[in-house]
Structure 1
Amino acid sequence: MLHWMLKQLSQLTSKNKLSILIYHQVFAQKDPMRPSEPDAAEFDWQMKLLKDHFNPLPLSEAITLLKMNRLPANSVCVTFDDGYVNNLTVAQPILAKYEIPATVYVATGFSQGGNMWNDRLIDLIGNSSLSEFNLSTLQLPSENVTDITSRRELAYKLIPLIKYQDYQQRIAIIDQLYADNQADEVANKMMNPAQIKQLAETGVEIGAHTVDHPILASQSAEQQHQQINQSKQQLEQWLQQPVVGFAYPNGKPVEDYPLSAVEIVKQAGLDYAVSTSWGISTPQSDMFQLNRFTPWDKSPLKFHLRMVRNMLP
């Protein structure tokens, strides 16, 4: 009954308001080092809720309708950033089960092997065979961990210290951390070109997300151009079809990407781009800086309520 009432409320208030949800990974079982990422069971009820109470649309179609002031009430789109293989193996079967369209933005530099720097760091600190970490490359004293909570706290304390460094420097820091702690890398987490093509063949739209996932604000105009254009062109070569959407890495305006990057995205021949600014998008929104928002609640009712609140004036 409460879900029905929320649906009726948003039906009245959400016409020409687009909710774009952002995800990264969906795990088969919960990953204790990544507690904010849903597992299959959680993602399943979220997609069922969208199917039952919202109007899931392909993002490109939703944007076209939004520009025409014809977007239906309760419209929602599902997106994923980075290009993890579990988007194909775990998320896609659930999306198909509920007939939910989706878009996955791929950072192409990781599609030939290797993991993103933040995943490598989290996996290093989560390595149960290590209990003391040499952090000298970060000019920090060694730290001991005693349980999963202290491991998480250490990993998420270190991430901000590395995040806004140049992407090549981030790699060098993580490489040195692995060497200093005599640790082994974990298996690749990212889709290879064949898996990206397989995902596209299920009907999931593939978008560009740069090559190396740098903070574009830290890159020169020439580097921004290379990161944006090369990722689009590489995906089009692998897929043999146009790539029309883009997601800014990290995605906060100014802090993570400058206005110059928005112009480069337009010049690259892309139709739209998404940020990580919270909120909905309307016909008046910049189609190259669309907002995204995903409730973090762990119960369907609270998730639904926050979705509706996000669409209210």
Structure 2
Amino acid sequence: MSFVLRSLFQALSPAGDGARLSVLIFHRVLPAPDPLFPDEVDARRFDALCGWLADWFNVLPLDEAVVRLNAGTLPARAACISFDDGYADNYSVALPILQRHGLPATFFIATGFLDGGRMWNDTLIESVRLSGKLKLDLSGLQDALGEDLGQHALGDMIGRRTALSRLIERVKYLPPESRLACVNAIAERAEVSPPNDLMMSSGEVRALRRAGMQIGAHTVSHPILAKLDANRAADEVARSRDALQALLGERVGLFAYPNGKPGTDYLPDVHPRLVRELGFDAAVSTHWAVARRGDDAFQIPRFTPWDRGRLKFGMRLANNLIRGDPRSAAARANY
């Protein structure tokens, strides 16, 4: 099976001018499966994925891959691995697995959450996870559309999953200050004090870099850039870069758009130009596709894998390569 899949990737992702770069995106690698998020990647599953990637692809550091893609010197079956946000398990769980397989990765850090910070979604998630209530009454709190958040049953794990899937989407697009106030209010209603050890420390970010991994910027507070005015968007991007450069003592040239959906989370005609003007070399989105020579280096697409089986995982990667083929009707339909 490995030979067949490797041959398929060789055909779909040749070397040179016709090369296609697959960039995978991860967020967390949990020590053990999470019953609240059964599809979240855990250590055992990530170890298997890394083994498959090492077998099938030429995995490169992202900055090198971007330069070689634009120069037409990318190898066949080229791929990169990336992580967003800066979770502590990226260092404690993912790094040893990456090292064992000899794979490089790029970690995009939202700098405002280092050293004991917590992202808004984790405040929400941990409030629902840890609450002892059977019903969470959020009446009076409003979502991004101004609609009441209402009541949510927490009697079992299915109910908690359902509550989270609804609440995350409804709260996500609130302005940053309103979003933070909302999730803090949810924690109070849930009668929960969420943990403050979910994100990396500054020392762990430095240790990732010493281990040969790349570090990129991901704003300070992980806002939806499309919802910010130009000055505030520039400040979020620049301050995250400056904080990381001060922390690492070196230039940071890579950036990831928070959430990363073009047209929804960032504006393709505004923010790539902003990131370029701030001196970055490349930026990544979460649009599903592959990058080809001549594509915008400030809107590199990424792909989110989720299949557990080797064949399904491989075929989904192959399908993403096919979708990235400009000759494909399916590719045109997906843009």
Work out the CA distance in 2 between the residues paired with 1:253 and 1:177: 29
| Structure 1 residues 219-238: aligned runs within 5 Å | 219-238=228-247
One-letter amino acid of the structure 1 residue matched with residue 196 of structure 2: A
Work out the CA distance in 1 between the residues paired with 2:11 and 2:187: 54
Question: Among 47, 53, 66, which residue is 1:50 paired with?
Answer: 53
Alignment partner of 1:213 is 2:222: yes
Q: CA RMSD in A?
A: 1.2
Work out the CA distance in 2 between the residues paired with 1:36 and 1:245: 28
How far the C-alpha of 1:34 sits from its partner, in A, is 2.3
Alignment partner of 1:272 is 2:282: yes
The normalised TM-score by structure 2 is 0.91
| Structure 1 residues 139-154: aligned runs within 5 Å | 139-154=148-163
How far the C-alpha of 1:112 sits from its partner, in A, is 3.4
Deviates more, 1:236-245 or 1:119-128: 119-128
Structure 2 SS opposite 1:231: helix
Alignment partner of 1:193 is 2:208: no
Quick one: percent identity of the two aligned structures? 39
**Match in the other structure for 1:35:** 38
Superposed CA offset, 1:123-161 (max 9, x none): 111115232212122323332222111101111111111
Work out the CA distance in 2 between the residues paired with 1:140 and 1:250: 22
Aligned residues: 312
Instruction: Check 1:128–1:176 CA distance in 2 against 1; reply closer, same or farther (3 A cut).
Output: closer
How far the C-alpha of 1:35 sits from its partner, in A, is 2.5
Q: Is the 8 A contact 2:260 2:286 kept in 1?
A: yes
Alignment partner of 1:289 is 2:299: yes
How far the C-alpha of 1:52 sits from its partner, in A, is 1.0
How far the C-alpha of 1:189 sits from its partner, in A, is 0.7
How far the C-alpha of 1:167 sits from its partner, in A, is 1.1
Work out the CA distance in 1 between the residues paired with 2:39 and 2:281: 31
Superposed CA offset, 1:243-278 (max 9, x none): 010000000111111132211100111100000000
One-letter amino acid of the structure 1 residue matched with residue 113 of structure 2: F
Unaligned runs of 5+ in 1: none
Alignment partner of 1:252 is 2:261: yes
Work out the CA distance in 2 between the residues paired with 1:32 and 1:243: 37
| Structure 1 residues 60-79: aligned runs within 5 Å | 60-79=63-82
| Structure 1 residues 88-99: aligned runs within 5 Å | 88-99=91-102
Superposed CA offset, 1:88-123 (max 9, x none): 000000000000000000000101322111111111
One-letter amino acid of the structure 2 residue matched with residue 164 of structure 1: Y
**Match in the other structure for 2:13:** 14
Alignment partner of 1:174 is 2:186: no
Work out the CA distance in 1 between the residues paired with 2:205 and 2:258: 19
Structure 1 SS opposite 2:291: coil
Question: Among 106, 117, 121, which residue is 1:118 paired with?
Answer: 121
Deviates more, 1:119-128 or 1:36-45: 119-128
Q: Is the 8 A contact 2:116 2:196 kept in 1?
A: no
Deviates more, 1:300-309 or 1:103-112: 300-309
One-letter amino acid of the structure 2 residue matched with residue 240 of structure 1: G
Work out the CA distance in 2 between the residues paired with 1:187 and 1:193: 14
Work out the CA distance in 2 between the residues paired with 1:29 and 1:181: 25
Q: Is the 8 A contact 2:131 2:190 kept in 1?
A: no
Question: Among 163, 167, 184, which residue is 2:193 paired with?
Answer: 184
Work out the CA distance in 1 between the residues paired with 2:12 and 2:53: 17
